[in-house]
Amino acid sequence: MAEEPEVTVPALPPTTKPETAVPPENDGKRVGAAAEALSVRVDTTKLDYLVDMVGEMVIAQSLVRHNETLAAASDSRLLRDLAQLARITSEVQKTAMAMRMVPIGQLFQRTARQVRDLSRKVGKQVELVTRGEDTELDKSIAEQLADPLMHMVRNAIDHGIEAPDIRKEAGKPPKATVTLAAYHQAGQIVIEIADDGRGLDARKIVAKAQQKGLIEDGAHLSESDIFRLILEPGFSTADQVTDISGRGVGMDVVRKQVEKLRGRIDSRYGRLMGGTCQRLTQPPVSR
């Protein structure tokens, strides 16, 4: 039986001060020990149950607050107590939700190892640049985004990024750059996967779509509509199938996984620098 996943959450801070000072050369050990002492591993099923119960508590508090009998009450002390209860309930809910949040940097670090292995395998020089590693999202969402994120990075390295000699001929540095960025925008979490490779070939995409009967000959499509075709089931412009990609079963799966998380995905072409940018937009988790 597989072990239940766990999440590390902060524990309550100690109420006593350290008895003795630690020498400077032991500061690293002290910091590591302190971080370990201030965290506790919790089974995620227990954490989910806690979050669910907090949600029920918020509903119960709201019912009490809007009770007709209490709404007509004029006792100032009772009204103050109800207001205090509402504030405490709100703080408990925020804290419970924050306990499930993890920095996306953990997901980026896992991707970095795969980028190094894959770039060596295909004989390309690739540098991974990350931004917004401190951006937090729900742990379960982060885990479910791992495969879609890695597939898009794999596509960038295998399809988008050119071989070093071709990049030199195009006036580009031999070493390509793949960028992973995460940030908040309009109340949503946005994850971008960008590269400075050859970019998406709109003509090739249209020709392949016509060949597969996805669009009619002579159809006028916007750039965004053309790029959205790569998300269709079985769609691939790869000239040959490799053990890395080219089967046309990836981006459709990525789209379904992202939409399952109530997110969306879109692609665009960097006209100034070349390359592509895949954007995952994920709303914050709610219960």
Instruction: Kindly report, residue by residue over 211-246, the tens digit of the pLDDT.
Output: 888 887 777 888 778 888 888 877 776 666 565 554
Q: Which residues pair with 126 in a beta bridge?
A: 176
Tens digit of each residue's pLDDT (9 = 90 or more) over 140-186: 888 888 888 888 888 888 888 889 999 999 899 999 999 999 998 88
CA 128/CA 115 separation, integer angstroms: 7
- pLDDT confidence bin for 273, thresholds 50/70/90: very low
- pLDDT confidence bin for 283, thresholds 50/70/90: low
Comma-separated ranges of CATH 1.10.287.560 domains in the chain:
6-98
For domain 6-98, the CATH superfamily is Histidine kinase  CheA-like, homodimeric domain (1.10.287.560)
Tens digit of each residue's pLDDT (9 = 90 or more) over 80-124: 888 999 999 999 998 988 888 889 998 898 888 889 999 988 889
Domain 101-282 fold:
Heat Shock Protein 90 (3.30.565)
> In Å, what is the CA distance from 41 to each residue of 46, 95, 146, 230?
11, 16, 22, 41
The dihedral formed by the CA atoms of 24, 27, 29 and 35, expressed in degrees to the nearest 10: 160
pTM, two decimal places:
0.68
For residue 243, the model assigns a pLDDT of 58
For residue 284, the model assigns a pLDDT of 59
Phi and psi dihedrals of 144, rounded to 5?
-75, -15
Comma-separated ranges of CATH 3.30.565.10 domains in the chain:
101-282
